[in-house]
Structure 1
């Protein structure tokens, strides 16, 4: 089947989605960390039929690692946000305060939709 997008790519670039980025907020975890956890969970799923007990332990460990990483990432994001507005004069720095409010709203909304 003819793929118009692939046909329009320069010959020196491999096909794929490397240059495309999905619109939306920045991921909470770095891609290498997400990939590592995803691989561990995938391994657990793939070995479940042969060793269900070990696979479940590995899946639980991947879950724990993901939740720990997420909690740490959220705590760091909160620390950075708070440092940006905590000592500001609300009357002279309203633009910065609005940006901080928008970021809090966006992150909290993402958590509630998850």
Structure 2
């Protein structure tokens, strides 16, 4: 069977044989509770800038560093899990299983490129 590039580029809900049902969207890269805490910290830094600019900048930098660390950790774990799904597969693995892994790589990479 040949690789079907146009089919591989279709969103998962447009694949032949799919029910058309989709989850509300991709899983967030940072959990919502953690995202809320970091957003509050950044907002606090913005609100306190007039009174203490240096402290506000330090707070903003800390929030930035924590977001960066969280993203790196999440992406490394997703890569590890995704790699494990296809790397140890038998060479005779169904192309559909490999296509699913390819779609996941595409989705994550595209999300990062849109940042």
Normalising to structure 2: TM-score of the pair? 0.76
Task: Please give the per-residue CA displacement for 1:61-112, whole angstroms capped at 9, x wherever unaligned.
Answer: 0000000000000000001101111111243332221111000001001111
Counterpart of 1:52? 53
CA–CA separation in structure 1 for the residues paired with 2:91 and 2:36: 41
CA–CA separation in structure 2 for the residues paired with 1:39 and 1:111: 23
How does 1:70-109 map onto structure 2 within 5 Å?
70-109=71-110
Please identify runs of 4+ aligned residues in structure 1 that moved more than 6 A.
Answer: none
Aligned residues: 93
Deviation at 1:52?
0.6
The alignment's C-alpha RMSD in Å is 1.4
Normalising to structure 1: TM-score of the pair? 0.76
CA–CA separation in structure 2 for the residues paired with 1:96 and 1:79: 17
CA–CA separation in structure 2 for the residues paired with 1:101 and 1:41: 35
Counterpart of 1:8? none
Q: Which runs of 5+ in 1 are unaligned?
A: 1-21
How does 1:8-27 map onto structure 2 within 5 Å?
23-27=24-28
Task: Give the 3-state SS of the residue equivalent to 2:88 in structure 1.
Answer: coil
Counterpart of 2:4? none
In our comparison, the structure showing a higher alpha carbon Rg is 1
